[in-house]
Amino acid sequence: MKLALHEVGDGDKVALLVHSIMSSADTWSRVAPRLVDRGYRVVMPDLRGHGDSPHAEEYTPQLFAADLVESLPTGADLVIGHSFGASVLTLAVAGLRPARVVYSDPAWRFNDKSVAEIKEFAQFTKATTAEQIQQMFPRWTPEDVAAELAGYARWDTRAVDWLDAAVEYVPERPLVPSLVQGAGDHHLVPDDLAERLRASGFEVRHVPDTGHCIHRDDVAGFLQSLDGWL
C-alpha cells in the first residue's frame, strides 16, 4: 500500500520518522523542525489505517513493514521508529537500507497482559478528550495533545487485531548501525534486554525522567541522547 507521506525541509540529508500504533506523523511535530535545522529533509509516513493513509482489510506487522519499503526512499541517512513503529522498522530495515537506525522505546515484546491493555486502550482512544490526554501525559505541550487527539480520531481500531498472534520482535543483530533509545522508566527496555542488545551489537541509551513517548516528554533530552547519530 502506498502511504501518505508528510515532508518538511530541503536539506542534503534524509531522515525518516515512523510513528507508533494509534498515532500519526503528527507525533513528530516538535522533532521534525529540529532535524530540519540540522540539515535534514524529513519524511514522515502515516502507517496503513492511520492519519491520512487508507484503512485496510488486513493488518499485520509484515504488511506495515512492506508499506514502508514501498512508500519511503531507500538509503536514508537516518530512520527513527517509535514503539510499534520501531517493531515495524525492524522488519523493514533490510528493504530500506538506511545508513543508521534509532529504535525509540521499541515495543518488541508482547504478553497476554500487554495485549489486553493495548486493546482496551484502543477503544478508549475513540472516546477520550484533550483534558484526559493532558492528565495522562502532563509534560506534553498543547500541540502534542491536539496531535494525539487527531490521530486517535482517524486511526482504524482493527489495526491492533494482529496482536492476538504477537510474537517477540527483538532483532538478533543490527543490520546497520543501530541505537536503541529507552525511556527513563526502563519499562520496554529493561536492563536485561539492554544487556542482551549490547551483546548483539546495538548501542543502548536511556533518557532519564521520561516515559514511553520520549520525544514528547522531553524533546531536548530525546535529541541529546542522539548525539553522534544525527
181: domain CATH number is: 3.40.50.1820
Q: Is residue 215 part of a domain?
A: yes
Q: Where are the alpha helices (DSSP H) in 97-190?
A: 112-124, 130-136, 142-154
Residues 6+ apart with CB under 8 A from 167: 110
Q: Which of 47, 17, 12 is nearest to 29 (CA)?
A: 17
Residue 71 has pLDDT above 90, yes or no: yes
Q: Is residue 48 part of a domain?
A: yes
Q: What percentage of the chain reaches a pLDDT higher than 70?
A: 99
- N- to C-terminal Cα separation, the chain: 29
Q: Which amino acid is at 128?
A: T
- Summarised one tens digit per residue, pLDDT across range 200-224 is 999 999 999 999 999 999 999 999 9
Q: Let me know: does 217 contact 139? Beta carbons within 8 Å.
A: yes
Q: What percentage of the chain reaches a pLDDT higher than 90?
A: 93
Query: pLDDT band at residue 168, thresholds of 50, 70 and 90?
Result: confident
Q: Is residue 120 part of a domain?
A: yes
What Å distances lie between residue 203 and 157, 212, 213, CA to CA?
A: 34, 18, 19
Range of the domain at 117: 5-224
Residue 155 has pLDDT above 80, yes or no: yes
Q: Is residue 229 part of a domain?
A: no
Residue 164 has pLDDT above 90, yes or no: no
Q: Is residue 186 part of a domain?
A: yes
Q: Is residue 230 part of a domain?
A: no
Query: pLDDT band at residue 169, thresholds of 50, 70 and 90?
Result: confident
Question: Is 79 in a helix, a strand, or coil?
Answer: strand
Q: Is residue 118 part of a domain?
A: yes
Supply the pTM of this predicted model. Answer: 0.96
Q: Sort strands 78-82 and 5-8 into parallel, antiparallel or unpaired.
A: unpaired
Backbone angles phi, psi at 179, to 5 degrees: -110, 130
Q: How many domains does the chain have?
A: 1
Q: Is residue 207 part of a domain?
A: yes
